Amino acid sequence: MTCGHCASSVTEELTEIEGVTDVAVDLASGAVTVTSTTALEREDVVSAVTEAGYQVTA
């Protein structure tokens, strides 16, 4: 991700996952940190990132 619009798209999709309370995107590295009140299922996170037009690489 290289722009604020990209970060916003990913943030919007991730915050739709139940329990997510915060999403932080580091544009320089592309790292995304998700804070939630419950454990997240990897497939939910991957699906949200894919819906935003990106892919999880780690």
pLDDT, one tens digit per residue, over 15-57 is 999 999 999 999 888 889 999 999 999 999 999 999 999 989 8
What is the predicted pLDDT for the residue at 4? 84
Closest CA to 28 of 48, 54, 1: 1
Say how far apart CA 2 and CA 16 lie, in whole Å: 22
Number of Cβ atoms within 10 Å of the Cβ of 10: 22
What is the predicted pLDDT for the residue at 2? 59
What is the predicted pLDDT for the residue at 57? 86
Say how far apart CA 15 and CA 47 lie, in whole Å: 12
What is the predicted pLDDT for the residue at 28? 85
Please state the pTM of the whole predicted model: 0.86
Which residue is listed with tokens 């916003």? 8
